Amino acid sequence: MKLLAGNSNTPLAQSISNYLEVPLTDASVRRFADEEVFVEINENVRGEDVFVIQSTSYPANDNLMELLICIDALRRASAKRITAVLPYFGYARQDRKPGPRTPISAKLVANLITTAGASRVLSIDLHAGQIQGFFDIPTDNLFASPVIAADIQARLANRNLMVVSPDVGGVVRARGLAKRLSNAPLAIVDKRREKAGESEVMNIIGDVEGRTCILIDDIVDSAGTLCNAAAALKQQGAVEVFAYCTHGVLSGGAATRVAKSELSELVVTDSISSGEPDPKDSKIRRLTIAPLLAEAIRRIADESSVSSLFD
């Protein structure tokens, strides 16, 4: 087994390497003067089982090209099997046609990864489950809920908890977390989105008075939905509101928005590297998913069950 890291999230790749006690493969992933990506593998990978660790987060197109070229370089170097490990799968929100003459970019990216030469894909909390079907190669979609549930139980176990889905589409995810938290009660935020990037909270389905609410979502981008939901929950009598999200995209002024919101804390995983440490007074905290990904990688390499990780 070999691990190859792109430039998108080197701290996570190094943490996975440390957990597995497998050094990162010596490779050069750099840019030419005109920003073209160049990849050179500096050690023999012939007949090896190689895992390429690369989130396609911002800058999404650069990181995606890095991934594709890494896969192509490994294929041409006669690697036996190439697994694309995507802690965060970019373009996942474009998984259907929301209107006429619009693309399904998630399917296009799946085709690119497959054509480049990947043998299988490993990701965490895909935005929509059907994206697994976009790939014509085996695809494992892990869930961050065990890591999130363990953190909630360690920090908030003595609170009167209620799990809250920020929209109707996230009910299944919220129900799964509630089940892990000793069948905690569930509430739903009913919101109407007038246009992309903006949301308006309409109503809270469920009695949240006197509760510590846990908002759960897969992606936090502008954080507008979570901040509006936190304000609505507080208005309905919630004592405190915490938000847990797998992928902290946090674009634009998201961090400032969270700092000024009714949220007590926003917890995200390290599936996306921020590139710099969060300020000490920030409401944003990061959990590592390195052990979860590392254990899945080990099981794939050993040809053992990945699904049993979540039993």
- pLDDT in the model for residue 200: 67
Catalytically active residues are 191
Identify the band that residue 249 occupies on the pLDDT scale cut at 50, 70 and 90: very high
- What average pLDDT does the chain have? 92
Higher pLDDT, 201 or 264: 264
Domains (ranges, CATH) in the chain?
2-142+291-310 (3.40.50.2020), 145-288 (3.40.50.2020)
Residues annotated in the binding site for D-ribose 5-phosphate, as ranges? Answer: 193, 217, 221-225
- pLDDT in the model for residue 135: 95
Residue 147 has pLDDT above 70, yes or no: yes
- pLDDT in the model for residue 192: 67
Contacts with 193 (C-beta within 8 Å, 6 or more apart), sequence order: 199, 200
pLDDT digits (tens, 9 = 90+) for 21-41: 999 999 999 999 999 999 999
Residue 199 has pLDDT above 60, yes or no: no
- pLDDT in the model for residue 158: 87
197 φψ region: left (φ > 0), alpha (ψ -120 to 50), beta (else): left
- pLDDT in the model for residue 274: 78
Higher pLDDT, 101 or 199: 101
Identify the band that residue 196 occupies on the pLDDT scale cut at 50, 70 and 90: low
pLDDT digits (tens, 9 = 90+) for 156-167: 988 999 999 998
Contacts with 245 (C-beta within 8 Å, 6 or more apart), sequence order: 216, 217, 218, 219, 220, 226, 266, 267, 268
Higher pLDDT, 275 or 75: 75
Residues annotated in the binding site, as ranges? Answer: 34-36, 93-94, 127, 167, 193, 217, 221-225
- pLDDT in the model for residue 167: 86
Residue 103 has pLDDT above 80, yes or no: yes
Whole-model pTM? 0.91
**Mean predicted confidence (pLDDT) in 75-97:** 95
pLDDT digits (tens, 9 = 90+) for 277-299: 666 678 999 999 999 999 999 99
- pLDDT in the model for residue 193: 61
3-state secondary structure the chain: CEEEECCCCHHHHHHHHHHHCCCECCEEEEECCCCCEEEEECCCCCCCEEEEECCCCCCHHHHHHHHHHHHHHHHHCCCCEEEEEECCCCCCCCCCCCCCCCCCHHHHHHHHHHHHCCCEEEEECCCCHHHHHHCCCCEEEECCHHHHHHHHHHHHCCCCEEEEECCHHHHHHHHHHHHHCCCCCEEEEEEEEEECCEEEEEEEECCCCCCEEEEEEEEECCCHHHHHHHHHHHHCCCCEEEEEEEEECCCCCHHHHHHCCCCCEEEEECCCCCCCCCCCCCCEEEECCHHHHHHHHHHHHCCCCCHHHHC
- pLDDT in the model for residue 197: 58
First to last CA, the chain: 26
275 φψ region: left (φ > 0), alpha (ψ -120 to 50), beta (else): left
Distance (Å, rounded) from C-alpha 177 to C-alpha 118? 32
The count of other CB atoms within 10 Å of the CB of residue 279 is: 10
Distance (Å, rounded) from C-alpha 112 to C-alpha 116? 6
Q: Are 189 and 167 in contact (CB under 8 A)?
A: yes
- pLDDT in the model for residue 157: 85
Residue 65 has pLDDT above 60, yes or no: yes
Between the alpha carbon of residue 246 and those of residues 74, 104, 116, 259, the distances in Å are 29, 23, 27, 19
